[in-house]
Structure formats: C-alpha cells, structure tokens
Amino acid sequence: MSASTKRNIATQGSEDFTGIKLREPAAYAAGFNGIKAALQHTFKEMGVTKSVKSLFQMNQKEGFDCPGCAWPDPDEPSKLGEYCENGAKALAEEATNAHLDAHFFAEHSVEEISHWSDYKIGKSGRLTQPMVLRPGKINYEPISWENAFNLIAQELHELNHPNEAIFYTSGRSSNEAAFLYGLFVRAFGTNNMPDCSNMCHESSGVALSETLGIGKGSVKLEDFDQAEVVMVIGQNPGTNHPRMLSALEKCKANGGKIISINPLEEAGLIRFKNPQEVSGMLGAGVKLTDIYLQVKINQDVSLIKLICKKLQKIHLENGTVFDEEFIKKYTAGFEDYLLHLDKFSEKELLDLSGVDEQLVNQAVQLLAKKNKIIICWAMGLTQHKNGVENIKECVNLLLLKGSLGKPGAGTCPVRGHSNVQGDRTVGIMHFASEPLNQAIKNVFGFDAPAEEGFDTVHAIKAMYQKKAKVFIALGGNFVSAASDTVYTAQALQNCNLTVQISTKLNRSHTVTGKTALILPTLGRSELDIKDRKPRHFTVENSMGKVHQSKGMLTPASQHLKSEPEIVGAIANAYFKGNHTVSWTSLCENYEALREKMAKVLSGFDQMNQRSKGSGFYLPNNVRDLDFSKLPNQKAQFSNCALPKHNLNEDEFLLMTIRSHDQFNTTIYGLHDRYRGIYNERRVVFMHKNDMQKLGLKKLDVINLTSNYAGKERKVFNFLAIPYNIPKGNLAAYFPETNPLIPIDEFADKSNTPISKSVVVRVQKV
C-alpha cells in the first residue's frame, strides 16, 4: 500500500451527544425493571419466540452456558430460568436477527464505519461470511474459506521468525478452541499469546500464585451460604455479575454480613429484589451491604492495612482475633509483616483511605469475631500500578484470620468473560510452562518453545515497532479494549495482516493491517452440527468447575464455522500435512480432542465423561491447604507499600468503568440505569465541590487530558455529572476514555494497564 492510499480510519466514533436524561441513582438492583429491560432487549433483537425458547435453555445442564460473565451456575438450576438481565442482553447481542453480509461491506467502507460509535457498529449485527480487505482498499470483499486460510498460511510463512506473529485470545472461546489454538501457536513456534486476562485479572493471578500457589480463587458457590462475612472490594456485581447478588442474598438469609469497599455506592450492593422469587419482587427487597466504606480510588492497601492494625490491637488485648494456630502451621512471614505494619500510623492510613473512622471500627469489630470470611474483588483492585499488591493485602487479611481452606471462607476473584479462566487453564498464556511443554511433547511429539512471549502491552509495542507483523485474534475487540487507543491503532495498522475470528462487527474490523480478514464464527448459543450430530464443548467458571455447553439456535448463517474448525484449518493450511498433529481430525471430532486434552492437562482425567451435567471441579491446593509448592511450603504474608500519587492541585484520579448497558466494548444500550444516567455515555462523574472549584455546572461540556512523561493525551466533549464520589476522584466509561491511558503505565509484575487510576486534568469547553 503506498502512502497516498493510506486509509483514513478514525479510532473512535465522532457523534453528537445523544440526548442525556438524568434521574436519581437507583436504590436497589434487579426487580421488575430488570426483567423489563431483559425482555425488551431480547424481544427487540431476537423476536419473542426465539427469546423465550433460548432463555429457558441458558445455564441449564443440557443447554448452553451464558455468554456473559463467568459467575457459576448452581448445581440444580431453577427450571424457571437461571439468568439475569445482563445475561439476557449478552444472549440477545449474540443471537440478534440483525445479520450483515457482502452487500453491507460494499455499501459501507471501513473508513465510514470507523466514524460510527461502538454502539452503532455493534448493532450492525452478526458477521455471516468470510471477508477480506485488500491492501489499499477501503471496502471488504468476500473471500472463500480456503483462500482465507491459505492467505494466513502464506503470511505466516513469509515471516523471518515465528515471534513476528501475535495470537490474541478473548475470554469467550471454549476450552476446546483455546486448547487447539494454543497447540497450534506452540507448534508454529512462539509463545506470543496475549489474552484479555492481561488487561483484567492478571494481577490476581500473579498475586495469588505468589502467596497461595494457585492463580485462581478458592471458594465454591456453596461457600457463600456459610460465610459469616463477605467483603466485596472494587467490584460492581449488580451490573457485571448480577447473579452473585442471589449468593449474597442467601448469605444474608443465613446471618452473614456484607462489607462493601468502593469509591461508588453501587446500587447493586445496596438492595436486591430477586427476580427469581415472588417474594423478592414484592416489597423493598433485601438489604445487602451492612457496612459501606467509601474508599478513595487506589487506597485499598491503606484501608486494609488500617483494618489489620486495628484487628491487631484487639488481638493484643484478648488473643482471639488472629488464628494463631493457622498462622503457625500454614504461613510464612507473619513476624515480618507485623514489623511492617508498625511502620504506619493509623492516622496516616485513615487520611489516605478517606473513609469515616467509625465505619472502619464497625468493620473491624465485625471481622474480629468472625473467621468464615470471603473476599471478592474485580477490576477495582487489579487495574492499578500496584494491582498485584492490592490483592496480596487482601490475602494478608485472610491469612491473619485463618480464612482459607474451610467452608464459608476464602479468595474470590470474580472473573470477567464467561470462559476466561478456562482459556488460561488449557494453555493460553504468554509465558512458557515447563510441565505443559513436557506434556505436549509426550502426547503430540513436538517441542513447544521455551522462551517467554509477548503479553498484551508488549504485543502492542512490538507491532508499533514493526517487530511483529501478523496479528490474529480469537475473539475480542483488541483496539478498543487495550489502552492508549491511538498508539494501539497505529500498532495494528503497522501489521501486514490482521485477522479477526469474530461473531459480531466491532472497531477492530476497521483498524487493520494492510490486509485484513474477518472470519465469522458460531456463537455459544448456536447449534454446532457435524455429520448431522450436534456437538458440545466445555467451559470453566469463575470457581474452577468445568462443564459442558451445547448450543441450540439455528446459526446466523450456514457459512459459519466453529472456532476449533477455524483454528484447525489455519494449522492445516500452514503445515500442509507435514506435522505430528492431525489437525483436521482433532478440530472436527471434539470427543477425540478432549481425549488428548485429558492427557495433556492436569486435573482433566476423563474429561469427556466428567464434563457432562453439572461438571467437575479442577484441583485447588488452597482448598486442601497444601502450600507445598511455595517457599518453606507455606502461604506467604506480603509487605505491601502504600500506593503513591503525587497529584498537582488541578489533577484528578480517573477510574474507567462499565455502565449497566455494555459488555466491555459491546454497547448494549445507552442507559446506566443504576447510576441514573440515560441516553448518553460521554459523562464524567465528579464530586460537587470539585465541580464548584472548577466553576463547572451540571452537564457542562469538558475535555479530559492526561500527561505522562511529557506526552499529552486527550478525549473530547464529555458532560460533567455531580455524583457521590470521593473528592479528587473521577469516573467515566470505558472504552471512550481508553485514549487517555498511556501504553507504558501498567501494574508491576502483571503488566495490567492502569485503567482504574489515570491522572487527568479537566478543561471546560
């Protein structure tokens, strides 16, 4: 492509305001409004018959797994429906009747589409046939599957080294697809497998592996029934894991208490009207949070240290607060940790956290007497410079209380995408795993690379620097999900070839390499038929349980292929029969593929049989209190530093969060019902005093600027909204604010972008 034919691609939509309406934030979650929103959405996208038919199959044992979040299903799902409002929206988005084909792409160039909002792009519908964007062209054209696979194979063969290709994965893929993909990438010769975890729970994985020996949580769903205290930190379950509210409701019914730690008092954590129960729908619903601690953004380490210091004080008086037996038997570093705590004054910690001391004391009194404690968290803890230490500080608290390896207690990192945990378990990772490589050698007879590959941030940098030239994505919307949108877009545009294996149109189909391919694939809810027999695949939920999922709807198009078929065909085209793995038979016969997976992956014995019905739990050393793989064979206390933010007078800390009407970069609608924002996404939540200081009135138009290492990044035209948020803190939605997040600002050790603590300035327009 010559410079003169460079495509004119926008990295964000450029639309006028959509007509904002404001209401008071909601006082409860779900209820009739939740059901109304769910049905409105599914009926509109899928029609009534299809909606009803499929909603009753979602999360049922013989049905398909919800394509929304990774919250687990109960062993005996309710026959009346085991889904939430946002699960219904996730289904509607996938099973929509809106389809697009070659005519759509002939009519709309990528240049035109790139100027649309993410909302409009997503609403265009499901992709139905393979398409190619040739060098210098601005319209996608149809291409046969065979030619598409050969084109990929050719570009891969032309690279000087396998490390010049990047293979991204988003967390919707099945275990089978992800395993086969990881196998192909290793056979090809690289570990360049960034995945959405890198932007998500990577900090949890690192912190939990280093302290407890497994990068996953330890609790099971039934632990919520027995927990005495559940702490929900940096998580908004009412929107992002709605059926978690049922688990919290049950915990409360059994006498448990809930402590919420969040800069925003999220509606879903205040009250819940359970739509699955008649009693839940009538009356005021159930009060969930007992103690709400309004922490300042990124001051969780200060707050938890303060809680631990206060617990220690009571322990010194009565000796009953810390579980000394547990600490002695199972942990290392306790004395050191106490010395470390001594270095901080209560006053300093209290001031930093910004929390009311009386409320902290209430939380401390509660925690002092209990030891069945679960800590749940999500992006409010992971997406900071000290994301890993945020989680280690939570582990410290659980270790002090002996709240691990017993019913009703433990760690609960609440995962995002419905199979993000499974993808990791079956081999999607950018680092080399010696045991996995050895197992691959034994079962498949080839040597997988031992050298570490690129994670998300480093993959972007490699493409930007033209060290990587081919980008293949198994799902996701890389350009909008990653940080530093303009930089990331340039990185992708530097590639020779970008390939998106996708269900729906998104911005990453417009921000492309010189050549681009769209390979359309089956969604979760759709029938996957081979030789007239429906096939099923497996997923792993947030609590480490692997189970089957079988689609039931007629596919969006007869031209779609399943993800394993696409991956297998790429491998086949690349190796041309010249490899130890029989790619064709593995990608067609999932039973045979699972036989192999059972041989390679630990904990997957008899996967075919055991994944039927409600499935099986993978081994978890924390549940067994087995810390033998850690230094001194003990769980580790950690001495975590306080986060440092030396802000100037005019600077704020911004957290980029989800509205109630989106799934990551997929925008379901324009309402954030629980926060009282209707019909607009370009808003910034601010404390009223901060607005006053800047001379801002409600709905004034503002721009936001970040400045890191002398480089300014800007987003334009947002509306200022006075809101109950700590002074000095701001909140706005992702992905609209991703251009502000510098590529080089990410968490220590996990490299997760600092999406929840971006330093910005505000300018009135």
Ligand X SMILES: Nc1nc2c(c(=O)[nH]1)N[C@H]1C(S)=C(S)[C@@H](COP(=O)(O)OP(=O)(O)OC[C@H]3O[C@@H](n4cnc5c(=O)[nH]c(N)nc54)[C@H](O)[C@@H]3O)O[C@H]1N2
At residue 252's C-alpha, the angle toward residues 247 and 256, to 5°, is 105
Q: Which stretch binds Mo ion (CB under 5 A): 196-204, 205-213, 440-448, 609-617?
A: 196-204
Phi-psi region of 221 (alpha: psi -120 to 50; beta: other; left: phi over 0): alpha
User: Residue numbers of the site for ligand X (CB under 6 A)?
Assistant: 68-69, 86, 170-172, 196, 199-200, 233-236, 239-241, 261-264, 266, 295, 297-298, 300, 378-380, 383, 416-417, 474-478, 481, 501-504, 506, 521, 523-524, 563, 655-658, 662-666, 734, 738, 741, 755-756
Locate the DSSP E strands across 402-512: 410-413, 470-474, 497-502
Q: Which is nearer to ligand X, 71 or 627 (CB)?
A: 71
Q: Which stretch binds ligand SF4 (CB under 6 A): 205-213, 236-244, 306-314, 751-759?
A: 236-244
DSSP, residue by residue, 584-604 = HHHHH-HHHHHHHHHHHSTT-
Q: Which residues within the stretch 398-457 sit at the binding site for Mo ion (CB under 5 A)?
A: 416
Task: Round to whole Å and give the CA distance between 442 and 470.
Answer: 30
Of the candidate residues 26, 84, 152, 332, the single one contacting ligand SF4 (CB under 6 A): 84
Size of the site for ligand SF4 (CB under 6 A): 13
Binding partner of residue 738 among ligand SF4, Mo ion, ligand X, none, CB under 5 to 8 Å per kind? ligand X
Of the candidate residues 28, 64, 83, 292, the single one contacting ligand SF4 (CB under 6 A): 83
Least gap, CB of 162 to ligand X (angstroms): 22
| Amino acid code (one letter) for 489 | A
Q: Does 555 bind Mo ion (CB under 5 A)?
A: no
Task: Round to whole Å and give the CA distance between 39 and 88.
Answer: 8
Is-contact 65 547, C-beta < 8 A?
yes
Burial class (CB in 10 A: 0-12, 13-18, 19+), 760: buried
Q: Which is nearer to ligand X, 181 or 444 (CB)?
A: 181
Q: Per the structure block, which two tokens stand in for 213?
A: 């020996």
Of the candidate residues 41, 220, 241, 681, the single one contacting ligand SF4 (CB under 6 A): 241
Task: Round to whole Å and give the CA distance between 230 and 356.
Answer: 20
Binding partner of residue 83 among Mo ion, ligand X, ligand SF4, none, CB under 5 to 8 Å per kind? ligand SF4
Least gap, CB of 282 to ligand SF4 (angstroms): 22
Q: Which is nearer to ligand SF4, 237 or 735 (CB)?
A: 237
Size of the site for Mo ion (CB under 5 A): 2
Task: Round to whole Å and give the CA distance between 471 and 490.
Answer: 13
Is-contact 763 705, C-beta < 8 A?
yes
Task: Round to whole Å and give the CA distance between 61 and 180.
Answer: 25
Q: Which is nearer to ligand X, 241 or 252 (CB)?
A: 241
DSSP H or E segment with residue 423? helix 420-425
Q: Which is nearer to ligand X, 248 or 378 (CB)?
A: 378
Least gap, CB of 511 to ligand X (angstroms): 13
* Sign of torsion over alpha carbons 510, 511, 514, 517: negative
Q: Which is nearer to Mo ion, 238 or 416 (CB)?
A: 416
Map tokens 């006082």 to a residue.
Answer: 27
Task: Round to whole Å and give the CA distance between 513 and 607.
Answer: 39
Q: Which residues of 653-692 are buried (b: 16+ CB within 10 A; e: fewer)?
A: bbbbbbbbbbbbbbbbbbbbbbbbbbebbbbbbbbeebbe
Binding partner of residue 520 among Mo ion, ligand SF4, ligand X, none, CB under 5 to 8 Å per kind? none
Binding partner of residue 84 among Mo ion, ligand SF4, ligand X, none, CB under 5 to 8 Å per kind? ligand SF4
Least gap, CB of 208 to ligand X (angstroms): 16
Of the candidate residues 25, 125, 171, 242, the single one contacting ligand SF4 (CB under 6 A): 242
Least gap, CB of 488 to ligand SF4 (angstroms): 27
Is-contact 84 242, C-beta < 8 A?
yes
Least gap, CB of 329 to ligand SF4 (angstroms): 37
Q: Which is nearer to ligand SF4, 83 or 637 (CB)?
A: 83
Q: How far apart are the first and last CA of the chain?
A: 39
Least gap, CB of 264 to ligand X (angstroms): 4
Least gap, CB of 214 to Mo ion (angstroms): 19
Q: Per the structure block, which two tokens stand in for 351?
A: 């001031």
- Least Cα distance to 213 among 639, 628, 632, 749 occurs for 628
State the angle between helix axes of 48-55 and 31-46 in degrees (0 to 180), rounded to the nearest 10. Answer: 120
Q: Per the structure block, which two tokens stand in for 168?
A: 């991204």
Binding partner of residue 66 among ligand SF4, Mo ion, ligand X, none, CB under 5 to 8 Å per kind? ligand SF4
Q: Which is nearer to Mo ion, 201 or 596 (CB)?
A: 201
DSSP, residue by residue, 45-66 = HH-HHHHHHHHTTBTSTTSB--
Least gap, CB of 72 to Mo ion (angstroms): 16
Least gap, CB of 336 to Mo ion (angstroms): 33
DSSP H or E segment with residue 579? none
DSSP H or E segment with residue 738? none
Task: Round to whole Å and give the CA distance between 517 and 132.
Answer: 5
Q: Which stretch binds ligand SF4 (CB under 6 A): 119-127, 237-245, 372-380, 586-594?
A: 237-245
Binding partner of residue 734 among ligand X, ligand SF4, Mo ion, none, CB under 5 to 8 Å per kind? ligand X
Least gap, CB of 70 to ligand X (angstroms): 7
Task: Round to whole Å and give the CA distance between 623 and 208.
Answer: 13
Map residues 36-75 to x or -, x wherever contact with ligand SF4 holds by CB under 6 A.
Answer: -----------------------x------x-xx-x----
Q: Does 230 bind ligand SF4 (CB under 6 A)?
A: no
- Least Cα distance to 380 among 656, 54, 154 occurs for 656
Q: Which is nearer to Mo ion, 128 or 383 (CB)?
A: 383
Q: Which is nearer to ligand X, 420 or 462 (CB)?
A: 420
Q: Per the structure block, which two tokens stand in for 364?
A: 């401390």
Task: Round to whole Å and give the CA distance between 95 and 125.
Answer: 9
Binding partner of residue 96 among ligand X, ligand SF4, Mo ion, none, CB under 5 to 8 Å per kind? none
Q: Which is nearer to ligand SF4, 37 or 702 (CB)?
A: 37
Q: Does 81 bind ligand SF4 (CB under 6 A)?
A: no
- Least Cα distance to 296 among 739, 727, 762, 749 occurs for 727
Q: What single DSSP character describes residue 643?
A: P
Q: Which is nearer to Mo ion, 63 or 416 (CB)?
A: 416
Binding partner of residue 478 among Mo ion, ligand SF4, ligand X, none, CB under 5 to 8 Å per kind? ligand X
Q: Which is nearer to ligand X, 472 or 618 (CB)?
A: 472
Least gap, CB of 82 to ligand SF4 (angstroms): 7
Binding partner of residue 236 among Mo ion, ligand SF4, ligand X, none, CB under 5 to 8 Å per kind? ligand X
Of the candidate residues 25, 31, 63, 87, the single one contacting ligand SF4 (CB under 6 A): 87
Phi-psi region of 337 (alpha: psi -120 to 50; beta: other; left: phi over 0): alpha
Q: Does 200 bind Mo ion (CB under 5 A)?
A: yes
Q: Does 547 bind ligand SF4 (CB under 6 A)?
A: no
Q: Which is nearer to ligand SF4, 74 or 142 (CB)?
A: 74
* Interacting residues with Mo ion (CB under 5 A): 200, 416
* Interacting residues with ligand SF4 (CB under 6 A): 59, 66, 68-69, 71, 83-84, 86-87, 90, 241-243
